[in-house]
């Protein structure tokens, strides 16, 4: 997608003292005085709990995500422009507004370095669009490209007016989770990854064939490993020393978290070809773990498994 010219502002507060409570007032609820406008017919407000359902909905119609913050007038203006364009397009795509301050894990997953950050999601895959201020006429051009890409991939469904992930028809709602899975999900919600890990491990102990628990455990491991990671530092370390195994593993983790799944798999398979002994087994196990995160039926996993087997044997 086209990007605005000129330098982009970068926000990186890793390791910094959190002054947000002093510098930024709490964000008023949508539709209240001083807050962002109420959602429209083709606009939803999404948080971490409703985010999985939003991603699932992107298999039927295009989703455009705007990460915004109440303290950023630019981000609220971009969100307003996008809402107007969503109404103009009458359900050809859904706008999802996500408060980046209230949902930092989603912002990290999209590798958002500033607000606003705008990303399309097509069939569960993120497609970065732009960051910062963007003229409305150029936003229109970017959206036309998104719609063309969606049509090329058979994603041509329309959004039901006023629909949201949590209001989807009963037939499309997620089934109720088993108790241990719900406990793990709740623990992730409160950022207690140790408790989530324990719940998934207990589920696997009770049913070793519980594929969802294995996938959940792998996802918790990925969240834990990347909790304090710095993508730029990891990439710099990996580029400076291709034999730095920890750096290569770290970049692969962050790439999967950011949706660059094939890049992550290719990186680790290349490492696998030149690594031997215990380190080779470590790389193989990490690949298997990331396969669980992405899903065994995903075509990228199927292809990577075949390539990994060739590299090993």
Q: Mind listing the pLDDT tens digit for each residue in 20-30?
A: 333 334 465 66
Tell me if 15 is assigned to some domain.
Answer: no
Residue predicted with more confidence, 188 or 164: 188
Residues 261 and 135 in one domain: no
Task: Write out pLDDT tens, residues 53-95.
Answer: 898 899 999 999 999 988 888 898 999 999 999 999 999 999 9
Split into its structural domains, the chain has a count of 3
Q: Sign of dihedral through CA atoms 69, 72, 75, 77? A: positive
Last residue of a domain, one of 225, 240, 255: 225
For residues 97-121, give the mean pLDDT.
Answer: 91
Q: Say what the pLDDT of residue 180 is.
A: 92
Q: Say what the pLDDT of residue 3 is.
A: 42
Q: Say what the pLDDT of residue 195 is.
A: 94
Q: Say what the pLDDT of residue 40 is.
A: 77
Q: Say what the pLDDT of residue 167 is.
A: 47
Q: Indicate left, alpha or beta for 15 from its phi (over 0: left) and psi (-120 to 50: alpha).
A: left
For residue 65, the SS3 value is strand
Q: Say what the pLDDT of residue 300 is.
A: 87
Residues 220 and 241 in one domain: no
Residues 219 and 242 in one domain: no
Residues 25 and 148 in one domain: yes
Quick check: 100 pLDDT over 50? Answer: yes
> What whole-number percentage of the chain has pLDDT above 90?
46
Average predicted confidence (pLDDT) for the chain? 82
Quick check: 226 pLDDT over 80? Answer: yes
Quick check: 286 pLDDT over 80? Answer: yes
Q: Say what the pLDDT of residue 252 is.
A: 93
Q: Say what the pLDDT of residue 22 is.
A: 30
For residue 242, the SS3 value is coil
Beta-strand ranges (E) seen in 133-281 are none
Tell me if 194 is assigned to some domain.
Answer: yes
For residue 71, the SS3 value is coil
Quick check: 308 pLDDT over 50? Answer: yes
Integer CA distances (angstroms), 80 to 8, 70, 231, in order: 21, 13, 31
Q: Say what the pLDDT of residue 8 is.
A: 30
Q: Say what the pLDDT of residue 46 is.
A: 93
DSSP code string of 101-157: TT-HHHHHHTT--SSSEEEEEETTEEEEEEES---HHHHHHHHHHHHHHHHHTT---
Residues 34 and 151 in one domain: yes
Residues 241 and 298 in one domain: yes
**Would you state the structure tokens that stand for residue 242, as one six-digit string?**
């291709």
Q: Say what the pLDDT of residue 16 is.
A: 26
Residues 126 and 203 in one domain: no
By mean pLDDT, which of 112-116, 258-262, 301-305 is the weakest?
258-262
Tell me if 164 is assigned to some domain.
Answer: no
In this structure, what CATH number is given to the domain that contains residue 79?
3.40.30.10
Q: Say what the pLDDT of residue 82 is.
A: 95
Residues 61 and 127 in one domain: yes
Q: Sign of dihedral through CA atoms 132, 110, 80, 94? A: positive
What is the helix (H) or strand (E) element at residue 67, kind and residue range? strand 63-68
d(C-alpha 269, C-alpha 63), whole Å: 32
Task: Write out pLDDT tens, residues 120-141.
Answer: 999 889 999 999 998 999 999 9
Q: How confident is the model at residue 175 (pLDDT cuts 50, 70, 90)?
A: low
Per the structure, the complete domain to which residue 81 belongs is given by: 20-156
């Amino acid at each position: 997608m086209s990007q605005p010219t000129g330098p982009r502002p970068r926000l990186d507060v890793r390791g910094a003292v959190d002054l947000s409570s002093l510098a930024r007032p709490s964000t008023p609820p949508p539709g209240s005085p001083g807050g962002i406008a109420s959602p429209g017919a083709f606009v939803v407000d999404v948080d971490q709990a409703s985010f999985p359902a939003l991603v699932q909905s992107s298999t039927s119609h295009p989703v455009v995500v705007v990460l915004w913050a109440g303290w950023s007038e630019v981000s609220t203006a971009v969100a307003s422009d996008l809402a107007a364009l969503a109404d103009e397009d009458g359900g050809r795509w859904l706008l999802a507004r996500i408060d980046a301050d209230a949902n930092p894990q989603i912002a990290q997953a999209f590798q958002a370095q500033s607000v606003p950050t705008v990303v399309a999601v097509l069939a569960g895959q993120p497609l970065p669009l732009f960051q910062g201020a963007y003229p409305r006429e150029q936003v229109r051009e970017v959206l036309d490209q998104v719609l063309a890409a969606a049509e090329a991939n058979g994603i041509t469904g329309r959004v039901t007016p006023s629909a949201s992930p949590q209001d989807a028809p009963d037939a499309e709602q997620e089934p109720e989770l088993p108790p241990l899975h719900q406990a793990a999900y709740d623990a992730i919600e409160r950022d207690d990854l140790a408790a989530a890990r324990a719940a998934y491990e207990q589920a696997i102990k009770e049913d070793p064939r519980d594929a969802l628990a294995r996938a959940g455990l792998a996802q918790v491991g990925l969240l834990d490993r990347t909790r304090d990671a710095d993508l730029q530092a990891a990439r710099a370390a990996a580029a400076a020393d291709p034999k730095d195994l920890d750096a290569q593993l770290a970049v692969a983790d962050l790439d999967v978290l950011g949706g660059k799944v094939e890049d992550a798999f290719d990186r680790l398979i290349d490492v696998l070809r030149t690594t031997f002994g215990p380190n080779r087994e470590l790389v193989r196990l990490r690949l298997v773990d990331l396969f669980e995160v992405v899903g065994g039926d995903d075509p990228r996993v199927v292809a990577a498994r075949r390539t990994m087997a060739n590299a090993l044997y």
